[in-house]
Amino acid sequence: MIRPSHGMLHHVELWVPDLPRALASIGWLLESLGYSLFQDWDGGRSWQLGPTYLVVEQSPALTAGEHDRCRPGLNHLAFHVEDSSTVERMVDDATRHGWRLMFPERHPYAGGTQHYAAYLENDDGFEIELVALGSPEKT
């Protein structure tokens, strides 16, 4: 295992309103990115990649029924992916796992001409960004 360095992200915990739906979308995403199932309990699961893990939990302490990425708090998570063809393959697969492409009219340069990425949103309003390593410049 990689030894974490000072300041490295330890974990992220997402509270979701519908665990089975979140497992179908977020679980698929994490496993597609190389994360492995780390923990599994009645109210949630976690996946780990190196020293970092991500928790998806349907907590009984939820105070709202949906996530709103435009309110204070988490807006989105961004993940590195191998290259632009991997971005496109994952976008194609994502629609079968509860995700929709955001900003399709500007895809894959919604983040700028030197930033090859896909922005996806699931049915619970969580946004993820898939960023190609070595993003090619738009010509």
* Model pLDDT for residues 69-81, shown as the tens digit of each residue: 998 888 999 999 9
Percentage of the residues of the chain whose pLDDT score is greater than 90: 78
Compute the average pLDDT of residues 75-95. 96
Contact partners, residue 82, CB within 8 Å, separation at least 6? 132, 133
Confidence of residue 67 (pLDDT cuts 50, 70, 90): confident
Residue 11 has φ and ψ, to the nearest 5°, of -160, 165
Tens of pLDDT, residues 17-28? 999 999 999 999
Residue 88 buriedness (CB in 10 A; 0-12 / 13-18 / 19+): middle
What is the DSSP code string of 80-118? Answer: EES-HHHHHHHHHHHGGGTEEESSTTTTT-TT-TT--EE
Q: Given this model, what pLDDT does residue 49 score?
A: 95
Q: Given this model, what pLDDT does residue 57 score?
A: 97
Q: Given this model, what pLDDT does residue 84 score?
A: 95
Q: Given this model, what pLDDT does residue 137 score?
A: 56
Better pLDDT: 59 or 2: 59
Q: Given this model, what pLDDT does residue 138 score?
A: 60
Confidence of residue 62 (pLDDT cuts 50, 70, 90): confident
Nearest to 128 by CA among 19, 26, 14, 35: 26
C-alpha span between 112 and 132 (Å, rounded): 13
Confidence of residue 48 (pLDDT cuts 50, 70, 90): very high
Q: Given this model, what pLDDT does residue 26 score?
A: 97
